[in-house]
Amino acid sequence: MSAPKLLERAAILFAGDSGDGIQLTGFQFSQNTALEGHDLSTFPDYPAEIRAPIGTVSGVSGFRINFGSQRIFTPGSKVDALVAFNAAALTKNLENLRNGGILIIDESGFNKRNLDLAKLESNPLDDPSMEKYKVLRFDLTQLTKEALIDIPGSPKEKSRSKNFFALGLIYWMYSRSLDQGIQLVTSKFKEGSQAFEANVRALRAGYHLGETIEESAVRFRLDSANLEPGVYRSIMGNQAVALGLIAASQKCDLPLFYGSYPITPASDILHELSRQKHFGVKTYQAEDEIAAITAAIGAAYGGALAVTGSSGPGIALKTEGIGLGVILELPLVLINVQRGGPSTGLPTKTEQADLNQALFGRNGEAPMPVLAASSPSDCFEMSFVAAKMALEHMTPVMLLSDGFIANGSQPWKFPQSTDLPAIKPPFAKESETDYQPYRRDDRGVRSWAIPGMPGLEHRIGGLEKEDITGDVSYDPKNHQKMTRLRAEKIENIPVPDIQVEWGEDQGDLLVLGWGSTFGAIREAVINLHIEGMSVGQAHLRYLNPLPANLAELFAKFKHILVPELNCGQLFNYLQPHAFGKLIPLNKVQGLPFASQEIEEKVREILG
């Protein structure tokens, strides 16, 4: 057999019913890919229903991974290999497979019942269009049962390991270490358990099936990526948020309190933090969203790094509590992992439609900082920044993530504690003899007095405060003054200037994004630059207050394209700063941008 073909990058899509273990399969392959030293980007895509309709197109679960020896910014639009466990999975995802790509089929998922559930009149495998692909047809379900014949359990129970059988075949196809793959199984299943033995046996059988395939052209290898030296791990966005908050808690030497009500796709932050008690983390699963935020406000009053998290519908319920945090001027971090809306909307799909809610969605004049993470690994830095900003400026801060980066993963380089900036909350001093709770420093920030500090007793509540004393006040002029002081404090928070991150720093067109559009924009700008176009990329992580040099940057370009997964919220927000140069590019399909969509729009603009 000839040597495997060397590739620079490859993209794989696993697809099947929700009960087929698709997300676990993708996660295991992602972990293995990270250990191999490849750069990677993933996109888990699954239905909202806990028990999605079996065999139907709407019930298909998918996991896409793009990996390579070069920098990877997106999970890819067209994939090189598609693993389809049934007819519905093939129907939904065949358009994502490039011509000439490899199609791995579980034939047991293409019987008459499967075809009826997928609403197909004939078997798509018999269609002449299949000649465009390299089709590898196996009865993976039956092969799995045969591999586990001497392991206890019913045939149905044994067939559940077919995802690991397919994973073993993929390990062989991409020249992965079988031993390393088996080690990863121990991270999910207890070694020696029946589930562990069944999945390891299936993994080995799938790998050895690959060795029997005579067509050597279906085997590949990739070199390690040329990443900056350091210790890396594969990390998901929600995990990175949790670790960023823990790092901030350790840096400021304050206990971390996380109050939350479970909601897709933010729940994994609660799950991750609940496992970190050894760092002094306290998690509280509240009975509703209102209880979650008010508990967090209580924790902030008590001197903790207080955090609450949710998605758009939950943030709506937290709105009154957010206003309470604003008027109290207590440090509070709010994580909004956006999803498709409105109402329940598309709970497992991604969207960026909560920007208006984050900026303006409160009663009264209640400004607060709004930040946005741009990738799974960036969630660590931006959650740390959000905590630092909240603590040092005594204000609620909202950090926007979304379903794409929350559930997606990429390599993350472990930072050193010495690399992280200090966090210095403005604590009141017990030695103060004339303490006033709303006396401000030269930044407009009041001091933080913790209950129990002798001589620093003061009122707390949602009624308007008298300047300096914090006493309840209904004086009209005082209300206007306090409103202005709270707004000025937010306006004066220093944020970094925005910079062109790739491409031309002036010229024909700037592609400006925020949040999870970063990767698609970067890949598009790289491709357009290769074509000789005068294009640059800039990305907003600080949405309120905005960078001071924003208008200066805009003046350097003829056109500014703003891709967003909404109907133009950032576009409308930036109009006063943009001299009429902004051009929207909007998508609300529950799916992230493909780089080609951005490239096509740029070519259209530049003729």
Helix H, strand E, coil C: the string for 311-374 is CHHHHHHCHHHHHHHHHHCCCEEEEEEECECCCCCECCCCCCCCHHHHHHCCCCCCCCCEEECC
Instruction: Tell me what pLDDT residue 1 has.
Output: 59
**Under CATH, what is the fold of the domain 233-419?**
Rossmann fold (3.40.50)
Q: Side by side, which strands form the sheet with 557-564? A: 500-503, 535-540, 507-514, 557-564, 582-586
CATH topology identical between 233-419 and 500-606: yes
Q: What values do phi and psi take at 44, rounded to 5?
A: -75, 135
Residue 511, H or E segment = strand 507-514
**Under CATH, what is the fold of the domain 5-222?**
Pyruvate-ferredoxin Oxidoreductase; domain 3 (3.40.920)
Per-residue pLDDT of 322-348, as tens digits, reads 999 999 999 999 999 999 999 999 999
The one-letter code for the residue type at 73 is: F
Per-residue pLDDT of 394-419, as tens digits, reads 999 999 999 999 999 999 988 988 99
CB 81 within 8 A of CB 10: yes
Q: What is the DSSP string of 260-326?
A: E---TTTHHHHHHHHT-GGGT-EEEE-SSHHHHHHHHHHHHHTTSEEEEEE-HHHHHHTHHHHHHHH
CATH classification for the domain delimited by 500-606, as one of 3.40.50.2000, 3.40.190.150, 3.40.50.920, 3.30.450.40: 3.40.50.920
Q: Strand pairing of 535-540 and 500-503?
A: antiparallel
Lowest mean pLDDT among 51-60, 178-187, 213-222, 305-314: 213-222
Per-residue pLDDT, averaged over 445-465, amounts to: 92
Q: What is the DSSP string of 67-132?
A: EESS---S--SSEEEEEESSHHHHHHHGGGEEEEEEEEEEGGGGSHHHHHHTT-SS-GGGSGGGGG
Give residue limits of the domains in the chain: 5-222, 233-419, 426-494, 500-606
Q: Which long-range contacts (CB under 8 A, 24 or more apart) does 599-602 make?
A: 599/524, 599/527, 599/528, 601/561, 601/563, 602/509, 602/511, 602/524, 602/528, 602/533, 602/535, 602/561
- Residues 32 and 301: their CA atoms lie apart, in Å, by 44
Per-residue pLDDT of 280-298, as tens digits, reads 999 999 999 999 999 999 9
Instruction: Tell me what pLDDT residue 217 has.
Output: 64
pTM: 0.94
